[in-house]
Amino acid sequence: MVVTAAKFDSLAEAAFEAYIHERLDEFHYCPSPDCMQVYRPAPSGNTLQCPSCLLHICPQCHVEQHDGIDCPDHDGGVHLFNEWIKTHNVKNCPSCKVPIERAEGCNHVTCICCRTHICWVCMQTFPRGDGIYNHMRAEHGGIGNAFDNNGL
């Protein structure tokens, strides 16, 4: 069987994503929205620059570089953001921890960063999306609807 170039590229991308997904303690996704770049943390004191979007990244806390503010002080701002998240229908992706939002519709959410398929109600993950609709029907009584922003 001959594998086409497109199929090979698709398989290589899936293998890479699976490899990264299993090693989220060794690798991080760029914190810039819509950037799919993956990086390894750098030694303390070195600022990283994403080669895709050119964002400067703090190697200790893995967020956009925060010049003049140490990580614990910056983390205080993160705490305030996390409090805001709780009141605005935003949750962290269970796989890559990037904040995601479900504004309306079905409770099947796909993280734009790591592409993990997620049940919004219980945050169970489905790496390729297989079985998510059966899960939502069996565990939550349905898949959600366009007028229900608070779950099923």
Could you list the active site residues? 106
Residue 43 burial (CB < 10 Å; 0-12/13-18/19+)?
A: exposed
Chain centroid, CA 150 distance in Å? 21
Chain centroid, CA 45 distance in Å? 26
The residues, any chain, with a CB within 8 Å of residue 20's CB and separated by 6 or more, are 27, 38, 114
Please choose, from the candidates 71, 60, 64, the residue with its C-alpha nearest in 3D space to the C-alpha of residue 32: 64
